[in-house]
Structure 1
Amino acid sequence: MVIVICMALWISGCTTNQTAQMGKGAASYGLADNKGQIMVLKDKPQRIVSLGIAMDEILVDLVPAQRIAALTYLADDGKISNITAQAKKIPRRATADAEAIIKLQPDLVLVPDWQPVELIQILRDTGIPVYLYKAPKTVREIRDVIAEIAGVVGEAQAGAQIIAEMETKLAAIRAKVSQIPGGRQPVVVRFSTMGVTGGKDSLFDDICRHAGVQNGAALAGLPTNGQLSKEQIVKVNPDVFLIPVADRSGRNADMRQFKADLLADQALQAVTAIQQRRLVTVPDAYMYCSSQYIVNGVYAIAAAAYPQYFGQ
């Protein structure tokens, strides 16, 4: 309880974008979004539309389902969504289609900063409150966005609870990793069917830091959106390959065959992960989410690297 109360106070301090508090006998309040755009809400929003899968995941844990007018279609995709069960309570889906969004009659649209500027302007021109937020790229930024959005939707306590639960889980992972004798941290790389991705300063890179492992792609100098060659993989010599559960490239590749092909690849036979057959399957929903569910990714990577400490 003390942790939650402290987190609630922290959220109150973090949501400095609130520019006008509820006045006497009135419930309206103004906020400035990530770009400094002022938005006025007359009360706690009751018909919220999300335009990002990470926001879908944050929102369903922040507010009751009846306050959500629509989530994105990705909320139903078990390959990438952590909330397929919760999403069933919210029947409508939204895409970056201004006309379709307007028909939903939202009183708040939550938009990540990678969505088209033209879409945002059209919605604002119709008088719909639009809140633009910065898509998080680190665990710290995810916590900040949760606190920020909790303030926007008027649910600081719920936001505090989500962040407190994240902190508890991350602390438990740190406690296990801290038991590991000093020395070289294992090197991991994340495969998709297109190759190894997740370079320096990517969200995956930050997940690795929290899991107490080294990101092989970052060690090789791969930029955030780059891809490692086989020669680079051999050079960084990963201890663990992280393999996706399913192919998201649209080719519907057989993942068992994908794993078998890696094990048989003659160019990779000198790599420790291949020699020790440490190819671990981790759901993409854990690896790519920018919500509170990122802690599942931290846990999965730590467990893959240190199975003896995580009961694997």
Structure 2
Amino acid sequence: MPRLFAARLLGRSLPLLLLLAACRPDTPATIAPPEAAAAPQQLRDDLGRTLTVPAHPRRIMALAASMTEMLYAVADTATIVARTQVCDYPAAALRKPVINSYPLDLERLVALKPDVVFTTTGITSEADAQRLQELGIPVYYQQYDKVEDIFRGLTDLGRILGRVPQARHLVDSLRAELRAVESLPKPSPASTVLAITWTDPIYVYGQNTLFTDKIRLAGGQNAVLEKFTQPYPALTREYILQLNPDIVLGGSFGKLDSTFFRLYPELKRIQAYQTRRIYDPTDDLMSRPGPRVVESVKELRGLIWSPPAP
């Protein structure tokens, strides 16, 4: 490079170099530390048990079929690591590994390393839950006495799993559907409904079960008004004769006529048998307190409004 050109270039660049040097900080730039990891969630479940769950659970599962349905309705389904042998809805659940729940396969469950396991009262024993807790796996119980409890449960799942908008949208939609059902005409007086869960001995849905609220919303009334200690009490034939229900749920007329009423012929005197108002509701809808609860209420309403046989 010719000396004259180099000198001119240096002369022109020197002020800029001096300016940049003046702007340079006296101390080296500091890099902001990465954001601290979110603190774990301190939760209290519906049994009043306290447990610690990661801020953002990435591996989850349920030990109750109803809660598996709820997880698929709210959670990121990629985070669901397994199902039980009775979890068959939605169809996508069938592609997940199976953990036996009766008896609970602790070894296989622990090997999956879930961040949290969800279940409901009456499905998982507290002894099994305690064992899982001791092995570092928190177990979160939910309990449902009314339909509103299911909506609350879905909302809780959204909060725990970081899926609040999804849960809110689902619950708002279900509440709107339920309001539409409640606005429909209802029979007066309300039909009394006896729902049978087992035939020998005779176990039924008691007053303190979710069924009572569902049948009320459908426009009927649980024939069992007395509150027993057990949610599904065993009733005598004499007690059922006194109830004299308008409707019996638990199987089709043909099936119960050849089994239940053959075993207890004196019960043919009840109103439900005389009018052939004996129906077989969808088992999953009756027994699972999940996101299909409004569908269950709609089905029950349809059965209540079915006319008596001539």
TM-score by length of 1: 0.75
Give the stretch that moved more between structures: 25-34 or 152-161: 25-34
Give the stretch that moved more between structures: 98-107 or 255-264: 255-264
Question: Do the aligned residues in 2 keep the contact of 1:50 with 1:110 (CA within 8 Å)?
Answer: yes
TM-fit CA distance, 1:40: 4.0
TM-fit CA distance, 1:155: 0.6
Q: Which residue of 2 aligns with 1:201?
A: 208
> Taking CA–CA contacts closer than 8 Å with sequence separation of 6 or more, which of the two structures ends up with the larger relative contact order?
1
Distance 1:40 1:196, change over 3 A: closer
Question: Do the aligned residues in 2 keep the contact of 1:198 with 1:226 (CA within 8 Å)?
Answer: yes
TM-fit CA distance, 1:84: 4.6
SS at match of 1:212: coil
TM-fit CA distance, 1:146: 1.2
Tell which structure's C-alpha radius of gyration is larger.
2
Q: Which residue of 1 aligns with 2:162?
A: 154
1:256-276 Cα offsets, whole Å, 9 max, x none, are 443334566641333221111
Aligned amino acid, residue 180 of structure 1: K
Q: 1 CA distance for matches of 2:212 and 2:136?
A: 40
Q: 2 CA distance for matches of 1:38 and 1:287?
A: 31
Distance 1:214 1:50, change over 3 A: same
TM-fit CA distance, 1:124: 3.0
**1:41 corresponds to which of 54, 69, 78:** 54
Distance 1:303 1:257, change over 3 A: closer
TM-fit CA distance, 1:296: 2.5
Q: Which residue of 2 aligns with 1:259?
A: 257
TM-fit CA distance, 1:104: 0.7
1:223-269 Cα offsets, whole Å, 9 max, x none, are 52212222222222211111247xxxxxxxxx944333456664133
Distance 1:225 1:196, change over 3 A: closer
Q: Does 1:228 align with 2:235?
A: yes
SS at match of 1:168: helix
Distance 1:230 1:110, change over 3 A: same
SS at match of 1:292: coil
Unaligned ranges ≥5, structure 2:
1-33
TM-fit CA distance, 1:28: 4.0
Question: Do the aligned residues in 2 keep the contact of 1:239 with 1:273 (CA within 8 Å)?
Answer: yes
Distance 1:113 1:268, change over 3 A: closer
Question: Do the aligned residues in 2 keep the contact of 1:222 with 1:228 (CA within 8 Å)?
Answer: no
Q: Does 1:119 align with 2:128?
A: yes
Question: Do the aligned residues in 1 keep the contact of 2:99 with 2:108 (CA within 8 Å)?
Answer: no
Distance 1:101 1:279, change over 3 A: same
Unaligned ranges ≥5, structure 1:
1-22, 77-82, 246-254
Q: 2 CA distance for matches of 1:40 and 1:202?
A: 29
Distance 1:27 1:202, change over 3 A: same
Q: Percentage identity across aligned positions?
A: 23
Q: Which residue of 2 aligns with 1:192?
A: 197
Distance 1:119 1:281, change over 3 A: closer
Equivalenced residue count is: 265
Q: Which residue of 2 aligns with 1:302?
A: 301
Q: Which residue of 1 aligns with 2:86?
A: 74
Q: 2 CA distance for matches of 1:270 and 1:291?
A: 36
Q: 1 CA distance for matches of 2:250 and 2:128?
A: 36
Q: 2 CA distance for matches of 1:48 and 1:40?
A: 11
TM-fit CA distance, 1:298: 1.6
Q: Within 5 A, what are the aligned runs for 1:163-202?
A: 163-176=171-184, 179-180=185-186, 183-194=188-199, 195-202=202-209
Q: 2 CA distance for matches of 1:266 and 1:107?
A: 53
Q: Which residue of 2 aligns with 1:64?
A: 76
Give the stretch that moved more between structures: 99-108 or 299-308: 299-308
TM-fit CA distance, 1:159: 1.1
TM-fit CA distance, 1:31: 2.5
Q: 2 CA distance for matches of 1:296 and 1:84?
A: 15
**1:97 corresponds to which of 100, 105, 122:** 105
Q: Which residue of 1 aligns with 2:114?
A: 106
Q: Which residue of 1 aligns with 2:93?
A: 87
Q: Within 5 A, what are the aligned runs for 1:240-255?
A: 240-244=247-251
Distance 1:148 1:234, change over 3 A: same
Q: 1 CA distance for matches of 2:295 and 2:206?
A: 20
1:171-225 Cα offsets, whole Å, 9 max, x none, are 121122xx236x311111112342350112112112222212111122x555522
Alignment root-mean-square deviation, CA:
2.6
